[in-house]
Structures are given as structure tokens and as C-alpha cells.
Amino acid sequence: MTEPKLEFAEASPYDQYVHASVLTSLQQPWSDDPAEMAFLITTQVMELWFTLLVHEWRTARDALRQDRLGDALAALRRSHPTLRALNASWQPIASLTPGQFNSYRSALGEGSGFQSAMFRQLEFVLGDKSASLLQPHKAVPAVHAELEKALHEPSLYDEVLAYLHRRGFAIPDDVLHRDVSQRYQENAAVEAVWAEIYQDPRHDELVTLGEALTDVAELVGRWRTDHLLATRRAMGAKPGTGGSAGVAWLEKRAGKVVFPEIWTARSHV
């Protein structure tokens, strides 16, 4: 049996690829409470999942722009287990009592998940745009520039609707040529297009696209709800760190539906 190679002139090939030594050096708690480590690592893991989801949804968006439906579906399907893993990431901190959270909450100062640049990228690629949400990143020019670029790019859903238009469906001009830096607004004509797609067996591949998007929307909704519940359990209705409205803000977010017409069209099928 061949023995594994154990000696290297520099860092092992594994570490050079994964950068594990860098990743495991990034946990620097701001309090003396040992429970803070779970909160910090959970947050960092979520940032990695956000990064992968943005990559997959941009891949799907760009494939649709080039009429490569198969590649878009593959990227969307890859994102589904990633979303489930993201949602499962709540588990280490989902049951915090107020006392447990308060033991290190003050150390967070003005820090808040609301300030996550990668989560903002994720929201933007889903079509939930707002120029004001770039403000927390003005002091970091490279991050601000990336977010500003994302603000003015079509979302995944914008490219879905443009693709349906090229396939001959009656997507209105005001949807096709809307200001993509603004939050997407539900449209009755788009709802009618999705109802038409779901009613006609000749459109099976587009139903498959609709269902892949529905899975994304459902899992994003579950993440928002889990965030709300974990926060409500840990801190009740107190204001959030960073000056946000805390639970009130999260309740508003949890009520937002991703890709709305794919859901409302079902009432007409």
C-alpha cells in the first residue's frame, strides 16, 4: 500500500487550495464569553453560503441572457441544497435565550447583519434593490463600487422575463425596459404569462424553470422566517444592533415574496 505524502517544502497543497489556515484564524471574538464563538462562526459560515448563492444566481442570470436554459437550470438546482445548508446554519444559535445573547451582545457595538455586503449582493440579484442600502459601505470604496455595479445590473428575474419575451410571451415593455436599479414590482400581465405557461403542457421546460425559481423563492422565504424567529427568541422586540428596528424590520422582510407572479399565477391555473 502506498503511504500518503507527508512532507512538503511549503504549505500543503490542501491548505494552498482551501486556505484553511486563513479561515481558521478569522475567529476573533469581541467578548470573553465562550458562547460568542458559535455566533461568530455561524455568521461567517452564512457569509460563505451567501457568496456561493450569488455566484450560482449570477451564473443562471447570465446563462438566460444567452438563451442557455439548460445551464441556467443547472445553476438554479445547484443553489437549492446550498439554500438548505444556509437555512440549517441557524441551528447553533437559533435557541439562544435573551440572557445568553445579552452575555456578548454589547460587544457587537453597532455591528449588524444588516450591514453585510454579500447579503446585499444576494438581495440585489433577486431584484430587491435600494440605493440607500449602499450607504453603510461608502467608507470601503471597492465594496461600495461592487454594490453600485450590482444595483444597476438586471436581476435574475429581469433576465427570466426577458427570456420569456424572446420565447414569444407578452411581457410588457414597461417591465422589459424598467429601471433595474429599482425594486421589482408585481405586474398583472407577468402573472398572466406565468398562468399561460403553467396551463399549457407544451411549455413543460418553462414550467421546470418556474419550479426551480419557486424552490429558490420558498427557501429564501424560509431563511427570512428563521432569521425572524431566532431574533425574536433571543431579544424580543428590542431595537437591533446597528440601530435597526430589529424584529419589526425582519417581520417586514419576511412578508416579502420573491418572484411574486410565479406564486399568484397559481390561483389562475
Q: Which residues are annotated as a binding site?
A: 105, 227, 241
Cell 421589482 sits on residue: 184
Q: Which of 43, 79, 49 is nearest to 61 (CA)?
A: 79
Q: Which of 161, 166, 121 is nearest to 145 (CA)?
A: 121
CA dihedral 147, 126, 180, 263 (to 10 degrees): -170
- The DSSP secondary-structure symbol of 241 reads G
Residue 210's alpha-carbon distances to 116, 160, 193, 265, in angstroms, are: 29, 9, 11, 11
Annotated binding site for substrate: 105, 241
Residues 6 or more apart whose CB falls under 8 angstroms from that of 134 comprise 120, 144, 147, 148, 151
Annotated binding site for heme: 227
Residue 215's alpha-carbon distances to 22, 87, 191, 218, in angstroms, are: 34, 13, 18, 5
Cell 431579544 sits on residue: 235
Q: Which of 101, 153, 148, 91 is nearest to 127 (CA)?
A: 153
CB 258 within 8 A of CB 216: yes
